[in-house]
A and B are shown apart, each in its own frame.
Chain A
Amino acid sequence: GQQLNQSPQSMFIQEGEDVSMNCTSSSIFNTWLWYKQEPGEGPVLLIALYKAGELTSNGRLTAQFGITRKDSFLNISASIPSDVGIYFCAGQLREGTYKYIFGTGTRLKVLA
């Protein structure tokens, strides 16, 4: 089946640093979503991207839909301790299928 390669798998950073993570695939996606999951909780939607090249921000978070429609990145600026969690990308292969493929996640730890 289709796969999403998410990198890095984990990151340890100092508070205040910027963070960058990305998802790539050999398949073309119509929609990209970025979620954050904290321990013992379900994923929470951070940003949704709907067209190639789209750049969207949500506070200190910025995400972009790659021009080729095969990748997306998420940046977090000036990280804070509460940014700790697992960040997942999810891609929708074909509009209207209602099915998303999830990446394996990037585990972020912020050192104060």
Chain B
Amino acid sequence: NAGVTQTPKFRILKIGQSMTLQCAQDMNHNYMYWYRQDPGMGLKLIYYSVGAGITDKGEVPNGYNVSRSTTEDFPLRLELAAPSQTSVYFCASSTGIGRSDTEAFFGQGTRLTVV
């Protein structure tokens, strides 16, 4: 099992550019999440999804968009990159079933720098 796969691993963007961070999971998990991690800080939830076609905002959604057309994929879109979006982005997924419904498995992260 590959688990949660994120691409790219690193990216440098110029201010105002746009890009999509890809996330795919092969565990048939219902729930998927996007977090950002700033230096020396914990993770903050950007967006999450409880199933295909359903998304909702987390703590810090401004400047981002998501879609969930399939169970496997949950891309994160940055439309107009700003220096404040320089961060490490983590995608995660969880089963949504039973007691472990929110135990999240994380990808390896995408390190994004906006200059």
Contact = CB atoms under 8 A, between A and B. Distances in A.
Residue from A4, A43, A44, A88 having most chain B Cβ neighbours under 10 A: A43
Interface string A16-56: 00000000000000010101000011111100101000000
A92 B101 CA distance: 12
Contact of A50 (B50, B94, B99, B106): B99
A44 B82 CA distance: 29
A2 to B, nearest CB: 10
A45 B58 contact: no
Contacts of B100: 48
A104 B43 CA distance: 8
B111 to A, nearest CB: 9
A104 B41 CA distance: 5
A103 interface: yes
Given A48-B100, A98-B48, A105 B107 contact: no
Interface of B: 4, 31, 33, 35, 40-45, 48, 50, 58-59, 90, 92, 94, 99-100, 102-109
A99 B58 contact: yes
A24 B104 CA distance: 21
Contacts of B42: 4, 6, 88, 90, 101-105
A40 B80 CA distance: 26
A31 B92 contact: no
Given A42-B92, A43-B106, A45-B105, A98 B50 contact: yes
B45 A100 contact: yes
A98 B103 contact: no
B40 to A, nearest CB: 7
A98 B42 CA distance: 17
Contacts of A59: none
